[in-house]
Structure 1
Amino acid sequence: MKKISTKIATFILIGIIISACDAVKRVPEGKRLLTKNEILVNNKTTKDDEVINQLYQKPNSTLLGYRLRLNLFNLANPNPDSSYQAKFTNHPGKYERMSKLLSAKQVDRLGQSFWYHGIHDFLKKTGEPPVIVDTARTHKSVLRLKYYYFNNGFFNVKANYKLDSLSKKKARIKYTITTGNPYLLDSLTTTIHTPVLDSMYKTRISNTFIKSGKQYQTKDFDSEKDRINTYFRNNGVYNFQPNYVTFDLDTLNSNKKVNVNLIINDYSYQDNDTTRTKPFKIFKISDVNIYTDYSAANNSLKITDSTSYNNFNLYSHSKLKYKPKAITDAVFITKGNLFADSKTVLTTRYLNNLKIFNYPTILYELDKRDTTAQSLIAKVYLSPRKKYSLGTTLDVTHSNIQNIGIAGSISQTIRNVFNGAETLEIAGRGNIGSSKDLANPQSKFFNVSEYGVDVKLNIPRIWFPLATEKIIPKSMIPSTLLSSGLATQKNIGLDKKNLTGSLAYNWTPKRNNTARFDLLNVQYVRNLNPENYFNIYRSSYTALNDIGKAYNTDHPEYANNHPDYVDRDTDNLIIEKGTAGFTNDVLSGTTTLTPADAEYKTVSSVEERRVRLTENDFILATSYSFTRTTKTDLQDNTFYLFRTKIESAGSILSLVSNAASLPKNHNGNYEIFNLEYSEYIKTEFDYIKHWDLTKEKVLAFRSFFGIAIPYGNSNNIPFSRSYFAGGSNDNRAWQPYRLGPGSTGAVNDYNEANLKIALSAEFRFKILGSMKGALFADAGNIWNVFDNITDERATFNGLKDLKEIALGTGFGLRYDLSFFVVRFDLGFKTFNPANEINKRWFNEYNFANSVFNFGINYPF
C-alpha cells in the first residue's frame, strides 16, 4: 500500500510539473510570449549588459535555463473565487450539505482559505506573469538604443527591429543597430563671462574630462559640469550651480570631429519682475554662530547665555551646557576663510558623529554689514538629544560554537556626561544558547550561557597627554573609546570569567577608510572548572586512558600501588585524580616509560595541551587595524573591502621586567599577578570582492591570511587568540574546529593553531522572490608554526604544505527578510588532506559526510 501511495504521489507531482511547463498557458489568443531578445551591433551579437538594459521588455527570468517563476505563475488559478463558487453551481445541494456540517459562514470563509485562495495568491506573487510582446514598448526600446549610442558619440546611428514568430504564441525580437563611425572631440574653447571664474577655471583645466581626441560621451560633459561646480563652490563661489555651465557643440564639419565651446554665464537673479545678471563674487565667512539648543518651540525665545571661543559664537536659550571646545572642534567652517561646500559637509558629518545632537542644520545668510556684499554668516543649528536614554535589545544569534542563542541586553546612555560631548554607556547583557558540541550529560537544550556588564566612554577627540592635531587632524573625525567589561560564561565546559579593558583611538584618514589604534587592550581569562578538562576534551582523555590501561595491565604492581587512580569496574583512569596522578608519574620518571617512548611523548603532548587550555591567561596587547571599502550602501553589489591588523602582546611588560631586573619563575618566564603573561605578535589580512553580474546575480570572493608568532615569555598562542577552521562562516564542508591542523584529521576535540589561510568564492542568484540560491567553494586550513608543537602533520614547514589546503564545495539557500538574511548551506568534502593521498579527492563527497550549516546574513 505504501509503494502504491508513493507511485500515485509521484505521478501527481509529474503531472503538475508537466501542466506547469506549458509556458503559453496564460498567453491570450492573438498574443505572443517573448522568448528571446537578440541585439546585433554592426552584424555582431552583443551580450553587453549595459546595452541589454536599454530594452523595455525582457523575457521571463530563468533558473538554469528553466522558467521556474513563469511556470509557478501558470500553476495559479486566475479566478479562485469563481472556481470555488462553480463547485456548488455544478453540484446542486452541495452547499446545503456543507452548511449543515459546518455553517454557511464557515463554508463561505473556506473559499478564502489558503487551500482554495491563498495558495493561488502565493503562486501569483512568487511567480512571474508571461512577458507578452508589446510593439509599443519595442519601439521605445529602439529609440532608447539609438539614444544610448548617440550619447556615446555615434551621431549617425540607425536602429530597427524584427519580430520572429516561433509558433502561434511564441516570438523573439531581433534588434539591428548600425553605429557608423564615432565622433571625436577636437578643439576646446571657453567663454566665461566672470573674469575671476575664468582665472580659476584655467588653473584646473588639466583636470577636465573633455579632451581633444577623446570619443564623444555625454557622461563626460555631465562629469565636467559636476567638477566645475564642486571646484567653484569649494572656493568661495557661493551662488554657483551646475546649470550655469553649458556647452556649444559644433559638428557641421564632415570629418567626424566635435568642436566644444564651454560657456559660463554671469550670475542671474530676480529683481522684482526683472531678471538681472552680474558677475559672480567670491564669498568669505564673516561670522560662525552656533545655536546649541535649537528647536522649533524655542526658536522665537530670547537667547539668555552666550560665549565666544576661537572666533566662534555660541548661543543658548538656557544655560550653556557644553564646553565650547567640544562643539567648536566639530565645526570646520571658520571665520575669515572662503565659503566651501566641503567644510559644510564635513561639519555636518562630525556633529552627527558626536551622537549628542539630532541631524544638524547649517544655513548661510548675507552679512548686511559688508558693503561689498561678499560676506556670509554661517548659522549652525543644533538640537540636543535627550541626556538619558534607555535601550534594550533582543537577538537570535548563531555562531560556530553556538547552534542557536538568545541574547538580550539593557543599557543606559548618558550624553554630554562631562560637558565635553562625551557619551557614557552602561550595559548589562545575557545570553543563553544551545551547542551540540558541549559535554551535556543532562541533555539540556540550553547548555550555553553568558552574562556580563560593560562600560564604555566615547570621547569625540583624541584623549592623550600630548598634542596629536598634526598627526590626526580633526578633519579625520577622531574619537577615543575607553571600555571595560566583566563576563561569566559557560561554553566549552571549563567555564570562564573574562575581564577586559581597552583604550582605543578611531579616526577616518580618508573617505571610506577607517583606522583604529588600541594603545592598551587588556584581557584576563580565568577558567572556573579546569578539573573538568578531560570530561570535555574526550579525545585527550581517550589517548591518555588507552596508555594508562595498557600500562596498568603490563605492570599490575603499579596498579596495585595506586588503587585510587582507576575505576575497578571499567579499568578507566578516574578524572581528575587518576589522570593527574598517572600523568605526573610518567613525566616525573616514576614509571618505566622514558622520553624516547612513543607513549611518553603522547602523555607529554596531552599534558602540554591540557595545561595550555586550562591555564589562566593575561594578555596586554597593542594593535593597529585599517579598513578600506568602496561599498556605498547595503544594496551595493560591486565593491571591495580590505582589512588588515597587526597586534603585539606582552612586549611592554617584558621591557619593564627586563629594565627592573625582575626574577623569572621555574619555567624561565616573567609573571604578573603570579601569572605568566602572553607574548606574541599577530597579523591578519582580509580581502573581500563582489562583482554584480546583473539580473540579481553576484559573484563574491574572500581571501584571509593570519599568523600569530609567540616569542619571549610564550611558546604558544592563547586559545582566545588562535585560529580554527570549519563552520558556517569558514569552510562549510567541515564542522567548526573539525578541520586541521594540517593533515592531522582533527584528532583533538577543539582543533586550533596559529597560522590560517582561507579562500572562498560564492555565486549568488535569485530563485523566487526573496529566496536566493548560492553555489560555493571554500578552501583553506590551519597549521602550527614557530610554536611548541612538533607533530609534522600539524606544522607548516614550507610551501610544500600548501598541498594540505582542504576544499569544500556545495550549495545553499538564502531568504531575505530585509533586516537580515537567513542562510542554509550544505557543504561537501571535495578534497580532504587528512585522508590517505590516493583517497583525498571526492572520497567523502556524499550526503552522509556532508555538513549542514545555518547562518544569519551572508558569510562574506
Structure 2
Amino acid sequence: MDHYFSFFQLNNGIAEQFMQSSIYNKKKNCAKIAVFILITIFFYGCNSEKRVPARKQLLIKNEIFENGKLLKDQTLYDQLYQQPNSKVPLLNYRLFLNIYNLANPNPDSTFNLKYYNNKKKYDREVKWLSAKQIEGLRKSFWYLGIHNFLKETGEAPVILDTLKSKKSLTRLKSYYFNNGYFNVDANYKFDSLAPKRAQLKYYLTTGNPYFIDSLRTSIQTPVLDSLYKTTKSLIIPGKQYKTEDFENEKNRITTLYRNNGAYRFQSNYINFDIDTINKKDKATVILNVGNYSYQENDSTKTEPFKIYKISDIEIYTDYKSENHNSPIKDSVTFNNIHLYAYEKIKYTPHAITDAVFLSKGGVFNDARTVLTTRYLNNLKIFNYPTIQYEVDKKDTLAQSLIAKIYLTPRKKYSFGFAFDLTHSNIEDFGITGSVTETVRNIFNGAETLEVSARGNIGASKDIANSNNSFFNVSEYGVDAKLNFPRILFPIKTEGLIPKSMIPSTVFSLGLSKQTNIGLDKENFTGSFSYNWTPKKNTTSRFDLFNFQFVRNLNPENYFNVYGSSYDALNRIAQTYNTNPDYTSDNNLIIESGTTGFTNDVLTLKTSLLPNDAEYQNVLNVEQQRIRLTDNDFIFATNFNFTKTTKKDLQDNSFYTFRTKIESAGTILSLISKVGNLPKNINNNYEIFNLEYSEYIKTEFDFIKHWNVNKANVFAIRTFFGIAIPYGNSNTVPFSKSYYAGGANDNRAWQPYNLGPGSSSFSNDFNEANMKIAISGEYRFLIAGKWNGALFADAGNIWNVLDAVVYDPARFDGLKDLKEMALGTGFGIRYDLGFFAVRLDMGFKTYNPALEKRERWFTQYNFGNSVFNFGINYPF
C-alpha cells in the first residue's frame, strides 16, 4: 500500500508538472506571438521618411551655436518655430511619427481600388450587400476611421521649411536683444544626413551685452514726479539690460499711480528712451511719463494728471439692466455709504458695507476696487459685481469721483444635483448621487445655507452577506452648512483678522448611515470654523470645535467583513488552538471562536509568548478589530494653514506648503477635571457613556515644482505627520491614523499594504500614528496631450508613543529610517487641460518587510508590480 501511494504521488506530481509545463508553454507562446506582432508593427512604421514628399527632408535635429559653442539651454530651443518630431525618452524612438506613418494617406483611393476598380469583386459582394451598404463601408472605422485615428494620435513629419527657419532666426535675435545683446549676427544652414533627412544649425555671434549706465526721469506731472521719488526703481544702474525689467517697471509705476489717486492714468503714458550713442556696451535710460491727453472737439489737449478723491459711494442692491432708468423706491445710508433698491432693500446694511473697502474722502485706489469686487463676489449671493466711477459734477475742480456699485442678486433658492461613479476598498463599483438646496441671504445678512442629501449604492463581492443581488452596499446621509461672511465672536476681531482678509464663519452638521457592509455604521459630524485669507494665495482655517461620533451597528460581524484579518488569525489558530469548541471543520467560528482564541492567546493560555511573532500578529489583529469596531467620539480643535505660489493651471514653477495642528479631547478633559467627574473602570473619563479620544496631531506637507523646460517638469513632495495619544487614550482613532501605499502615495504598494515599519502584517488595513513620505517625479511630454513620468516614492508608517509594543512596527529612533520603503516606476498621463487621467506602474525597489539580505530589488519584477489609476497628478 505504501508503494502504491508513493507511485500515485509520483505520477500525480508528473501530471501536475506536465500541466504546469503546458500552461507555461502556452503562455510563453502567446507572449512570443504578442512580441512578434509588436516588433512587426514597430518595423513597419519605423521608416521615418515614409510620408516625406519627394525632394523634401525630415528635420531630425536642431543645434544652436553661440560664439562657436554648442548650446544646451532648452529655453533657446523653445524659440524655434520648427521642432523635430518627439521621441520616447531613453528609447530614442519617434513613436508618434511612426504611428502617423501607419495611417493610409488616401483611404478613398484604397477603397475604390478594392471595390470600384475590381468589377468581379464588386459584383460578387453586391449580391449580399446593397450598393448603398458598400458605399457606407467607405466611411466605416476599418476603411476611414482607423486611419483618421492614427493621424490624430500621431505626429505628421516635420519637413524642413526655409521660411520657418528665417522666422526662427528672427526670434532668436529678438530673444538675445531682450537680454541686452544689441548687435547679434545670425545665420543658419542645413546639413543633409541622408536624401530625406537633415539637421538645422543656427550660428549666433553675440558680442558683449549692454549694461545700464544711468537712469534719468522726465515726469511732466509734478505730483506724479514726487510720488515716483518715494519709491525704488527696478531699473538699476550696473545691471545687464533686460526687456523684462522695463516691462515690470512699467507695470509697477502704473500700479503705484493708480493706487494713489491717478484715476485716468494708463500704462501707455510711460515709455523709455535707450541711449547707446558714443557708449561702449552701456546704455543710458530715460524714463518718460507724459501728461494726460484728451479729445476736445477736433483737437487733442493735454494737462497734468489729477489726484482724485471719492466724494460718494452708491450701492444698487437689486440692479438689472432693464431697470437702469427706473425710479429708486428704497434707500438707506450706513457708514457714509448709500444703499439703493428699485424695489426693497433686503439686506442688513452692514452685511453689504462690510464688503466695501472704498471710503468717502479717500483717494481713488485700484487695489481697493479689486478687493471690494472680490469680497462682494465671495458673498455668493450676487452675480459678479460691477464698479463704475463717475466724475462728481458738484466738484468745481473736477477732482472727485462717485463710486457706483451695481449688484445683481442671485436667486434666493437654487437647486442642484451631482452624480458620480465610485470605486473604493470596499466597493468594486458604486453609484453616488446628491441633491443640494441653497438658500441665500437667509437671515438678511448675506448668509448662505446649503442643505444636501446624498445616497450611494454599490457592488462588493467581499462583504459578508451579498443577498445574491448586484447592488449590496448602500450609504445615505444629510448635510447642512451655514456660512456667515464675517467672524462671529463675542468681541471685535478686526484688529487681528481685518475684513481685507475676507473672513467667514462656517457651521456644519452631517449625519450618514452605511448599511449592508457587515459592520454598518452611523456617523454624526459637526464643526464651527473660521476661515480667512491673510495674503494672496494663502488661506487659514481655525476649527473652534470639530466633532465626530461613529457608532458601529454590527461589531460582531467584523471577521465576516475583513477576510484577510480572519485568514491571518485562522492560520495561527490551526497550529496553536487547543479548544475544539472554537472551531468547525478546523476553522475558527465567527464570533465565538475568534473571540475565544484571541483571549486565550493574549492571556497566555496557549503556548504562544509575547515575544513570538504569531503572538504579535494576534495582538495586532485584535487591536485593529477594537479600533475598527469600537464606537468613537472625537471632539477636536485644529488649525490649518496653506500657502502656494502657483499663479494658474499653466504655472509649472511653484511651491505649496500645508500644515495642520489638531488637539482632541483637551477641552473635555479640562471640564472633567474641573468638574471632578468620576472615571470608569479603565481609569478614563466618559461622555455619553463613551470614552472620548484624546491626542495631539500635527502635519507638514511641502510640494515643489521646477519647470525644467517648456514641456518637462520635476516635482517633489515631502510629508511628515504624527498623532500622539495621551490622557484618555493610548491609541489614535482609526479615522485619524495614517496608511501608506496607493495612487497618491507609494505607488509600488496597494493602499494599507505597506508597514508599519518592517512588519509584514497581512491585515486588511495596516495603519499607524506616524508617517514619513518623500516622492520625486520627472514629467515629460511625449506628444500632443500624452505625457510620461518617471517617479520614485519613499516612505513608511510607524507606531510611536502608543499602545503598540511590537518592535518591528515601532519607531524608536533615527535608526528606524532604514525601514523607509522605496518604490520606483513610470506612468502615462493624458492631459485634458482641466484634469488629467493617469496610469502609473510601481515596482518594489526596497521592501523593509523582507529579510535584510532580500530587501533590494528581489521584488523588482512585473509579478510584484502595482498598477494605479488616478485622476490628476499625485502632487
TM-score class, shorter = over 0.9
The SS at the match of 2:189 is strand
- CA change 1:55–1:288 in 2 (3 A) is same
Q: Which AA in structure 2 matches 1:428? A: A
- CA change 1:400–1:47 in 2 (3 A) is farther
1:95 to partner: Cα distance: 2.0
2-structure distance, mates of 1:695, 1:592: 66
Corresponding position: 1:626 with 2:651: no
Identify the residue that residue 147 of structure 1 maps to in structure 2: 174
Q: Which AA in structure 2 matches 1:459? A: F
Corresponding position: 1:692 with 2:707: yes
1:814 to partner: Cα distance: 2.3
Equivalent position to 2:678, from 658, 663, 672? 663
Residues 507, 515 of structure 1: 8 Å contact kept: yes
Q: Deviations over 1:101-123 (max 9, x none)?
A: 11011000001101101111111
1:733 to partner: Cα distance: 1.3
1:475 to partner: Cα distance: 0.3
Equivalent position to 2:489, from 464, 473, 476? 464
Name structure 1 gaps, 5 residues minimum: 560-564
1:319 to partner: Cα distance: 1.0
Q: Which AA in structure 1 matches 2:582? A: V
The SS at the match of 1:843 is coil
2-structure distance, mates of 1:745, 1:9: 37
2-structure distance, mates of 1:523, 1:829: 37
Residues 753, 784 of structure 1: 8 Å contact kept: yes
The SS at the match of 1:212 is coil
Corresponding position: 1:246 with 2:246: no
Residues 824, 845 of structure 2: 8 Å contact kept: yes
1:8 to partner: Cα distance: 8.2
1:49-64 matches, within 5 Å, as 49-64=74-89
- CA change 1:395–1:26 in 2 (3 A) is same
Residues 311, 400 of structure 2: 8 Å contact kept: yes
Identify the residue that residue 237 of structure 1 maps to in structure 2: 262
2-structure distance, mates of 1:4, 1:466: 79
Corresponding position: 1:704 with 2:722: no
Which 10-residue stretch deviates more, 179-188 or 61-70?
61-70
Residues 670, 677 of structure 1: 8 Å contact kept: yes
Residues 540, 606 of structure 1: 8 Å contact kept: yes
- CA change 1:551–1:221 in 2 (3 A) is closer
- CA change 1:282–1:489 in 2 (3 A) is same
Residues 551, 632 of structure 2: 8 Å contact kept: yes
1:99-118 matches, within 5 Å, as 99-118=126-145
1:296 to partner: Cα distance: 1.1
1:19 to partner: Cα distance: 3.1
1:626 to partner: Cα distance: 0.6
Equivalent position to 1:184, from 203, 211, 220? 211
1-structure distance, mates of 2:34, 2:593: 60
2-structure distance, mates of 1:717, 1:201: 59
2-structure distance, mates of 1:841, 1:392: 50
- CA change 1:798–1:439 in 2 (3 A) is farther
Q: Which AA in structure 1 matches 2:680? A: N
Q: Deviations over 1:772-830 (max 9, x none)?
A: 32222211110000001011100000010000011111222223345543322222111
Q: Deviations over 1:77-104 (max 9, x none)?
A: 1111122112234422322222221101
The SS at the match of 2:790 is strand
1:846 to partner: Cα distance: 1.5
Equivalent position to 2:64, from 28, 35, 39? 39
Q: Which AA in structure 2 matches 1:165? A: S
The SS at the match of 1:231 is helix
Corresponding position: 1:346 with 2:371: yes
Residues 465, 516 of structure 2: 8 Å contact kept: no
Identify the residue that residue 656 of structure 2 maps to in structure 1: 641
Identify the residue that residue 475 of structure 1 maps to in structure 2: 500
Residues 715, 776 of structure 2: 8 Å contact kept: yes
Residues 184, 256 of structure 1: 8 Å contact kept: yes
Which 10-residue stretch deviates more, 308-317 or 804-813?
804-813
1:665 to partner: Cα distance: 0.7
1:393 to partner: Cα distance: 0.4
1:394-433 matches, within 5 Å, as 394-399=419-424, 402-433=427-458
The SS at the match of 1:93 is helix
Q: Which AA in structure 2 matches 1:727? A: G
Which 10-residue stretch deviates more, 768-777 or 821-830?
768-777
Q: Which AA in structure 1 matches 2:837? A: V
Corresponding position: 1:801 with 2:828: no
2-structure distance, mates of 1:404, 1:479: 38
2-structure distance, mates of 1:592, 1:63: 60
Identify the residue that residue 562 of structure 1 maps to in structure 2: none
1:119-518 matches, within 5 Å, as 119-204=146-231, 206=232, 208-399=233-424, 402-434=427-459, 446-490=471-515, 493-518=518-543
- CA change 1:118–1:511 in 2 (3 A) is same
Residues 400, 727 of structure 1: 8 Å contact kept: no
Equivalent position to 1:771, from 750, 768, 786? 786
Identify the residue that residue 525 of structure 1 maps to in structure 2: 550
Equivalent position to 1:616, from 608, 620, 631? 631
1:45-84 matches, within 5 Å, as 45-64=70-89, 65-84=92-111
Residues 688, 703 of structure 1: 8 Å contact kept: yes
1:385 to partner: Cα distance: 0.7
Residues 350, 477 of structure 1: 8 Å contact kept: yes
TM-score (norm 1): 0.94
The SS at the match of 1:222 is helix
Residues 427, 460 of structure 2: 8 Å contact kept: yes
- CA change 1:198–1:834 in 2 (3 A) is same
2-structure distance, mates of 1:523, 1:9: 54
The SS at the match of 2:115 is helix
Q: Deviations over 1:571-611 (max 9, x none)?
A: 4442223333455567678x587987858777665544433
- CA change 1:668–1:485 in 2 (3 A) is same
Name structure 2 gaps, 5 residues minimum: 1-24
1:435 to partner: Cα distance: 5.3
Residues 99, 153 of structure 2: 8 Å contact kept: yes
1:24 to partner: Cα distance: 1.5
Q: Deviations over 1:498-530 (max 9, x none)?
A: 100000111110000011111110100111111
The SS at the match of 2:693 is coil
1:161 to partner: Cα distance: 0.9
- CA change 1:611–1:129 in 2 (3 A) is closer
2-structure distance, mates of 1:447, 1:832: 36
Q: Which AA in structure 2 matches 1:791? A: Y
- CA change 1:44–1:260 in 2 (3 A) is same
Q: Deviations over 1:259-311 (max 9, x none)?
A: 11111111111111111111111111011100111111211211100100001
Which 10-residue stretch deviates more, 433-442 or 607-616?
433-442
The SS at the match of 1:578 is helix
Percent identity over the alignment is: 65
1:735 to partner: Cα distance: 1.4
Equivalent position to 2:863, from 845, 848, 851? 848
Corresponding position: 1:30 with 2:46: no
2-structure distance, mates of 1:843, 1:750: 24
Which 10-residue stretch deviates more, 641-650 or 592-601?
592-601
2-structure distance, mates of 1:17, 1:194: 71
Residues 495, 529 of structure 1: 8 Å contact kept: yes
Equivalent position to 2:805, from 783, 790, 807? 790
Residues 577, 606 of structure 2: 8 Å contact kept: no
The SS at the match of 2:146 is helix
